[in-house]
Amino acid sequence: MLGHVLADGSTDERLTGAVPALAAVAATAFADSLQRSASTAATGALEPKVQRVATEEYLGVVHLSSSTASP
């Protein structure tokens, strides 16, 4: 992209030459934004479930160890 912008020629010619590269950068940024959104949404949906399961397993282990330690 910088090669087109810094090349010889008029400003219009240089910017016209850089349009495909600018479009590729914009498309890549848009795709990245969509993927980050999907990842954040999935994390928001899964995190409470994982936390609940982890807490239940932890409390089950604590309960078992406390019941076996009592005389």
Give the Cα separation of 41 and 3 in Å (integer).
Answer: 38
**pLDDT band, very low/low/confident/very high, at 21 (cuts 50, 70, 90):** confident
How remote is the C-alpha of 16 from its chain's centroid? 32
Confirm if 10 and 17 have CB atoms less than 8 A apart. Answer: no
Coil, helix or strand at residue 71: coil
Residue 6: pLDDT over 80: no
Give 65's pLDDT tier (boundaries 50, 70, 90): confident
CB neighbours of 14 closer than 8 A, spacing ≥ 6? 4, 5, 6, 7
| 26-49: pLDDT as tens digits | 999 999 999 999 999 999 999 999
Instruction: Please compute the mean of the pLDDT values over residues 44-71 and round it to a whole number.
Output: 84
Q: What is the pLDDT at residue 7?
A: 75
